[in-house]
Structure 1
Amino acid sequence: MKPPDQSELESDSAVLSAAIRGLRRLRGYSSAEVAQGMNLALRTYQDFEAGRGRLNVDYIYRFCSFVDADPDAIFASLSIGSPDFAIRCSSNKLMSIVMIGVQQLNHQLGDRLAALEARTIVAAVNASVRDLVEKSAGGDEADWLKAGEEALRRARPKPGR
């Protein structure tokens, strides 16, 4: 079955559904296995995967924890309208890495962050994108990523249950 064309995904729910379903299939899990791993009733998980109901941030984090995916990439996929982005980032954790950098920038600059000019930010982002396109991944990034993911997890508010 061919995934839907970008033009067919007209809602956040459709993008979320395609991303979740694609990630589950990529990892080789059944709906029942993921539901159990998320501690949800099967029907509740099926509704989540189908994009029914409100966006549930806690479910996205629980899902990603179980299938070892990048929750920040799912949120970004909604912003850019591409479920494939979340699937492509499932192994390298691109968006979690970006968010770790943003968290560090916020911590180091504090209120000075507001004084950064958009021109400076655009130039830095464009330079980083060009550099990533030109180079291949490799090295000891795994330790940096693991420590940064833990810092993001600690900073994230806990669900109100």
Structure 2
Amino acid sequence: MDPTLEFGAGSTILPQAMKEIRNRRLLTTAVLAERMGMKPRTYEDFESGRGPMSLPRLFLFAEATDSDPFGLILGEIFQSLELAVETTDTKFPMIMIMSFMDFIEKVGVDIAYLDPVLLIEAFKKIFEDIESKGLDRDKFIRRWIEGRKGRISMQDMLARLMKRRKTEY
């Protein structure tokens, strides 16, 4: 399997998003290169879109910047810089993927028998609930000022998966 992302020539969403996230985190390219185990020039090529855009590198970037790799990927797919950048702190796509992984572990191949209408209705309800209860900017800012709690990262997601697998054996 080739883990290189192929989103089309001339894509600018991922490079722009990575630069914006790096800037929001107040990181230099040299510091981020070091965190990712790269030479500064290699990192600069990666961030600019000139170097290979592989899934392992994208996940490494997300870990090094405490951002959401799935938000970056979805931002590229939907051509939305805002989606890629604004999910950085909430980890919304990562949380969805983690929840989906939990669900798959429970239902397994029976996922094939789910009714699409049920899924549409369920997701519509979930997103309506989030919209009505969760979009409180003042509350978010207060929590942010008090200090971020409950960090969610790729390591956390993988650790949860490994812990579950160990209990299965």
**Interval of TM-score (by shorter of Structure 1 and Structure 2):** 0.7 to 0.9
Cα separation, 2, equivalents of 1:51 and 1:144: 28
Corresponding position: 1:67 with 2:65: yes
Indicate the residue corresponding to 1:159 in structure 2: none
TM-score, structure 1 as length reference: 0.77
Indicate the residue corresponding to 1:119 in structure 2: 117
Q: Give percent identity, aligned residues only.
A: 22
Corresponding residue to 1:149 among 143, 157, 162: 157
Indicate the residue corresponding to 1:130 in structure 2: 128
Cα separation, 1, equivalents of 2:54 and 2:23: 20
Contact 1:19-1:86 within 8 A present in 2 as well: yes
Corresponding residue to 1:43 among 23, 38, 41: 41
Indicate the residue corresponding to 1:21 in structure 2: 19
Q: Mark the runs of 5 or more structure 1 residues left unpaired by the alignment.
A: 1-9, 156-161
CA offsets 1:134-157 (integer angstroms, 9 cap, x no match): 01278xxx65957962446749xx
Deviation for aligned residue 1:128: 1.1
Indicate the residue corresponding to 1:56 in structure 2: 54
TM-score, structure 2 as length reference: 0.74
Contact 2:42-2:51 within 8 A present in 1 as well: no
Contact 2:67-2:89 within 8 A present in 1 as well: yes
Judged with a 3 Å threshold, the aligned counterparts in structure 2 of structure 1 residues 27 and 144 are, in CA distance, closer, same or farther, namely closer
Contact 1:21-1:49 within 8 A present in 2 as well: yes
- Residue type matched to 2:114 in 1? L
